[in-house]
Amino acid sequence: MALNLRGIAFRAWTGLAMVCVATLAVILVIQFSPLLGYLGEKIHWWSVDDVGSRVLEEYGQPGAESNIAQIALAEHYDIMIVTALERVVFWVKGSDPTPNVDPLDDADVTPELRLLLQTLANELELSGRNVLKTTRPLEEGESTYIYFARVEDQEHGTCYVYLAVNFAEPSDSDAQTLQIQVLLVTIIMMAILLAASLPIGHRFLLPVARLTKSAQRLAHGDLSVEFNGHGFTETEQLAATLTYATAQLREFDTDRKELLANVSHDLKTPLTIIRIYAETIRDVSGDDAFKRQTHCDTIIEEANRLTDLVNEIVELSRLDSSSTTVVLTEIDLAEVLRDTLTSFAILAETEGYTFEASIVDTAPIIGNEHFMKRALYNLIGNAVNYTGDDRFIGVSLARRGQVVRFEVTDTGEGITPDKLPTIWERYYKSRGHHSRSVTGSGSGIGLSIVKRVLTVHNARFGVQSVPSSGSCFWFECDLAPDAEPILDRAADHTA
């Protein structure tokens, strides 16, 4: 078991050692300081006060004498009630090992005791109080705790209640033995604690060590690693978090590999075509103006495809990058949509497309114009690429309360229900290809860009599609908080 001076186990052990030393110091200070004696005295006085007040409570009650006698015997107190003329009314010596249950009388009062009673009575009267508490060395080496109180009695006039008790104090040698014993037990306990704490600490840290080993494997790129935090709630939670993070990394890694494979495949095809056509122009068709023109057009088309693909990848990585913060400001979605549609106007003019647009006057939202335009462009572009032979595309933007809803519909083949959940995934392309690729896309990234953009905008989105009848892609987002409420007016426009 190698000792790691910076490890938690060693740090915990040194912490524990310090606590032990501090405890030992406190015990020593208490043992050898006057504090213990002071505390003992306090506790004795609490007991004397308690017995004194119980006796005073009993005094004057029916059956008082026998009750007070019982207290004296039970608590081992000498209790005497004496008149102001020093005549003993009641006296029980509970301190005797075999106490005399019959009350004693004047004859049993020694001259010393009589003198003490006189002194106490004088002191009490001088103090002006009703109770006097004092200690006197009545027996050798021991101080007697005395409780002396004045009471009034109809029968005897002013009387005094005298309570005296000796608390058994351990002898000096007993006390010393006790101190040594406490010290020894404390030191032995501490030694055991310190000796045991290091292996115990190691045992506690076993799951942490296991997790660290697995994390090191993960750091070296082993994504198949498993995290086992079994033993403690905290380490189990840590293991679960690391397992989740590893699963995310695995998914990310698969995505990355897939994207790389697909992208390189898609780059290879146009590059091959460009190379072949360029060679053909150089070797064969260079002098034939018509063929050269056709081959050059193909080269340009493929180069454009490459540019589109690269642009889409750049856009996606911008959205993916955690360092890219999409700046959101108030924008008018209606204006952004109208602007986007102008890019498609040429298709209406030259390719026979019909764009039926119903767009509300204004739709202020909190968003990013560039990314929103991108999402709208991709959705409308897909409708163009996949719509049916009638080349119809419906676009609508409507406000309902505090929500604005965008829809784009086409009349194409639609999407089968089993494919619906996958189309938003990066690089998903249905097996069948575009009915036509008018907008030059076809990378399989378009919808995943739309998904990212709409997620950033907190928008709800989806698609309804009926195979052979067409699809309707939609999204809804909240209007800007200070948007003016309007009646649902929409400007119809058909191109």
Question: Which residues of this protein are in contact with ligand ADP, per CB under 6 A?
Answer: 378, 382-383, 386, 410, 412, 415, 423, 428-430, 441-448, 471
> What are the residues facing 132 on neighbouring strands?
148
**Is the CB of 94 or the CB of 412 nearer to ligand ADP?**
412
Instruction: Using the structure block, give the residue that is written with the tokens 């060679």.
Output: 279
**Is the CB of 392 or the CB of 428 nearer to ligand ADP?**
428
Q: How far is the CB of 419 from ligand ADP (least distance, A)?
A: 7
**Is the CB of 113 or the CB of 453 nearer to ligand ADP?**
453
Q: How far is the CB of 356 from ligand ADP (least distance, A)?
A: 15
**Is the CB of 329 or the CB of 422 nearer to ligand ADP?**
422
In angstroms, what CA-CA distances link 189 with 13, 31, 353, 470, 479? 15, 17, 92, 82, 71
CA separation for the pair 490, 488 (Å, rounded)? 7
What are the CB-based long-range contacts (under 8 Å, 24+) for 218-226?
Answer: 218/242, 218/246, 218/249, 223/249, 223/250, 223/253
CA separation for the pair 106, 88 (Å, rounded)? 5
CA angle 327, 333, 338 (to 5 degrees): 125
Q: How far is the CB of 305 from ligand ADP (least distance, A)?
A: 11
In angstroms, what CA-CA distances link 163 with 77, 84, 373? 6, 16, 100
Q: Which residue is nearest to ligand ADP (CB)?
A: 446
SS (H, E, C) 331-370: EEHHHHHHHHHHCCHHHHHHCCCEEEEEEECCCEEEECHH
Q: How far is the CB of 447 from ligand ADP (least distance, A)?
A: 3
DSSP codes, 254-321: HHHHHHHHHHHHHHHHHHHHHHHHHHHHHHTGGG-HHHHHHHHHHHHHHHHHHHHHHHHHHHHHHHH-
**Is the CB of 47 or the CB of 430 nearer to ligand ADP?**
430
Q: How far is the CB of 490 from ligand ADP (least distance, A)?
A: 22
CA separation for the pair 70, 297 (Å, rounded)? 124
Q: How far is the CB of 370 from ligand ADP (least distance, A)?
A: 18
Q: How far is the CB of 440 from ligand ADP (least distance, A)?
A: 10
**Is the CB of 396 or the CB of 448 nearer to ligand ADP?**
448
**Is the CB of 148 or the CB of 377 nearer to ligand ADP?**
377
Q: Is 285 exposed, middle or buried, given 0-12, 13-18 or 19+ CB atoms closer than 10 A?
A: middle
Query: Do residues 229 and 239 make contact, with C-beta atoms less than 8 angstroms apart?
Result: yes
Q: How far is the CB of 442 from ligand ADP (least distance, A)?
A: 5
**Is the CB of 232 or the CB of 424 nearer to ligand ADP?**
424
Q: How far is the CB of 427 from ligand ADP (least distance, A)?
A: 8
| CA–centroid distance for 87 within its chain | 78
Q: Which residues contact 49 (CB under 8 A, 6 or more apart)?
A: 133, 147
CA angle 382, 302, 298 (to 5 degrees): 115
Q: How far is the CB of 494 from ligand ADP (least distance, A)?
A: 20
**Is the CB of 368 or the CB of 465 nearer to ligand ADP?**
465
Segment holding 378, helix H or strand E? helix 369-386
Query: Do residues 397 and 380 make contact, with C-beta atoms less than 8 angstroms apart?
Result: no
Q: How far is the CB of 228 from ligand ADP (least distance, A)?
A: 40
**Is the CB of 125 or the CB of 425 nearer to ligand ADP?**
425
CA separation for the pair 77, 47 (Å, rounded)? 11
**Is the CB of 103 or the CB of 470 nearer to ligand ADP?**
470
What is the number of H-type helices and E-type strands within the chain? 12, 13
